[in-house]
């Protein structure tokens, strides 16, 4: 081997150290003794005496002054001399990383492999020496496709061809799942949404909307929270003020009605159902009743995420607003009100599952 190819694509020749002297090329070690560091790619290399590493030579026209805090450290800084005569400094991992120096293991994690001699080192508490290598001169390791082994990783650890093949299979499975005839009774499929005082389990419900698969409004009401008096943060989102719920029913008063509605349903669907479920489940006292509800619950957001993974891998956001935009559905009402969000959820679901219901 008398030439190597750098990451930039440039090829540099192997020379011996007398050639380097004749051409006034400088090794990294010489540069560091002059308080200089390279400001460009190496122009040639030689092999270290142990044959394990390369020593790079740099053009003296492309060097800059080294970081001054490396200059006067001689009294306290420790150094070691490598077999080839290069002197390297001991430094902490953080300083090394700030200079772009990493251990072989960390480089491997970034898919780099050092070929140059170490440029610094550190000592572990147990006395073990860890060498740091300059990432700038390390070789980029090929990133192999986990399926076919070709050296051109594209997405999800696969090459483009394997990714697309994989995507086509997943898409076909998804189409079957979405286009299947489910034979549901639209009156027994419910969509619901809650607006809340906050984002956590202990937060209270401020409004509930429930509609059926045909878009018939079953319940649409504000709810007066039993404990919470103010909810400034979520108020900005859904617009429900404490004054608005002053005369609304308490959740407690609505529970018998909600239970009766849910009891008649085969599916209860929400967008991002885990949040809604984690609040609505408290209308039931027993774990058994909660599990019965859980079994009927479906998440429209999960289905939308699956749809875009299969059909629009370019999209990564999956809010209800994103879903409506992606599927080209018009909003009725203002997003973030439970009424508008429930209708939107129904529209997204019915678009994703065109054969969900018994036809008339
Ligand atoms: Zn592949």
- pLDDT tens for 187-241 read 999 999 999 999 887 899 999 999 999 999 999 999 999 999 999 989 998 999 9
Q: Is residue 200 part of a domain?
A: yes
Ligand 1 centre from 143 Cα, in Å?
11
Ligand 1 centre from 147 Cα, in Å?
5
Domain final residue pick, 140, 159, 192: 140
Q: Please count the structural domains in the chain.
A: 3
Q: Is residue 331 part of a domain?
A: yes
Ligand 1 centre from 10 Cα, in Å?
28
Q: Are residues 163 and 185 in the same domain?
A: no
Ligand 1 centre from 151 Cα, in Å?
8
Q: Are residues 263 and 284 in the same domain?
A: yes
Ligand 1 centre from 149 Cα, in Å?
6
Q: Is the pLDDT of residue 1 over 80?
A: no
Ligand 1 centre from 316 Cα, in Å?
23
127-154 mean pLDDT: 85
Ligand 1 centre from 162 Cα, in Å?
4
Q: Are residues 200 and 333 in the same domain?
A: yes
Residue range of the domain that includes 149: 142-169
Ligand 1 centre from 230 Cα, in Å?
55
Q: Are residues 89 and 204 in the same domain?
A: no
The pLDDT value recorded for residue 7 is 77
Ligand 1 centre from 168 Cα, in Å?
14
Q: Are residues 330 and 200 in the same domain?
A: yes
The pLDDT value recorded for residue 212 is 97
Q: Is residue 17 part of a domain?
A: yes
CATH number of the domain where residue 265 is located: 3.30.420.10
Q: Is residue 358 part of a domain?
A: no
Q: Which range (42-51, 76-85, 191-200, 316-325) has the least confidence?
A: 76-85
Q: Is residue 359 part of a domain?
A: no
The pLDDT value recorded for residue 329 is 96
Q: Is residue 174 part of a domain?
A: no
The Cα 155–Cα 346 span in angstroms is 32
Q: Are residues 332 and 257 in the same domain?
A: yes
The pLDDT value recorded for residue 36 is 85
Ligand 1 centre from 137 Cα, in Å?
28
Q: Are residues 240 and 290 in the same domain?
A: yes
The tens digit of pLDDT for each residue in 157-190 reads: 888 889 899 999 999 999 999 999 999 999 999 9
Ligand 1 centre from 165 Cα, in Å?
9
Q: Is the pLDDT of residue 299 over 70?
A: yes
The pLDDT value recorded for residue 308 is 95
Q: Is residue 230 part of a domain?
A: yes
Q: Are residues 325 and 188 in the same domain?
A: yes
Q: Are residues 230 and 245 in the same domain?
A: yes
Ligand 1 centre from 176 Cα, in Å?
25
The pLDDT value recorded for residue 252 is 95
Q: Are residues 119 and 224 in the same domain?
A: no
Ligand 1 centre from 112 Cα, in Å?
21
Ligand 1 centre from 156 Cα, in Å?
11
Q: Are residues 306 and 228 in the same domain?
A: yes
Ligand 1 centre from 138 Cα, in Å?
25
Q: Is residue 357 part of a domain?
A: no
Q: Are residues 333 and 189 in the same domain?
A: yes
Ligand 1 centre from 166 Cα, in Å?
10
């Amino acid at each position: 081997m008398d030439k190597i190819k750098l990451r930039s694509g440039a090829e540099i020749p192997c020379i011996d150290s007398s050639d380097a002297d004749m051409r006034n090329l400088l090794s990294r070690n010489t540069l560091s003794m002059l308080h200089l560091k390279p400001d460009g790619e190496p122009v040639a290399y030689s092999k270290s005496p142990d044959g394990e590493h390369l020593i790079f030579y740099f053009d003296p026209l492309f060097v800059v002054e080294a970081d001054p805090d490396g200059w006067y450290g001689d009294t306290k800084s420790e150094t070691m001399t490598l077999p080839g005569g290069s002197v390297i400094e001991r430094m902490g991992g953080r300083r090394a990383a700030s200079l772009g120096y990493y251990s072989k293991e960390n480089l491997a994690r970034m898919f780099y492999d050092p070929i140059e001699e170490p440029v610094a080192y550190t000592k572990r508490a147990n006395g073990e020496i860890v060498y740091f290598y300059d990432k700038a001169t390390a070789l980029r390791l090929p990133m192999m496709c986990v399926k076919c082994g070709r050296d051109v990783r594209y997405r999800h650890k696969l090459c483009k061809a394997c990714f697309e093949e994989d995507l086509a299979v997943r898409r076909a499975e998804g189409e079957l799942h979405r286009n299947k005839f489910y034979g549901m009774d639209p009156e027994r499929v419910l969509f619901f949404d809650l607006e809340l005082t906050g984002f956590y389990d202990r937060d209270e419900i401020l409004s509930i909307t429930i509609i059926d698969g045909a878009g018939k409004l079953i319940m649409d009401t504000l709810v007066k929270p039993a404990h919470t008096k103010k909810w400034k943060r979520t108020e900005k989102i859904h617009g429900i003020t404490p004054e608005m719920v002053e005369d609304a029913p308490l959740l407690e008063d609505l529970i018998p009605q909600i239970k009766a509605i849910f009891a008649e349903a085969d599916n209860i669907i929400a967008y991002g159902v885990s949040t809604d479920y984690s609040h609505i489940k408290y209308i039931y006292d027993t774990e058994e009743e909660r599990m019965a509800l859980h079994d009927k619950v479906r998440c429209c957001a999960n289905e939308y995420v699956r749809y875009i993974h299969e059909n629009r891998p370019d999209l990564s956001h999956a809010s209800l607003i994103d879903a409506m935009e992606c599927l080209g559905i018009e909003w009725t009402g203002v997003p973030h009100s439970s009424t508008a969000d429930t209708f939107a959820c129904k529209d997204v679901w019915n678009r994703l599952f065109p054969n969900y219901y018994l036809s008339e």
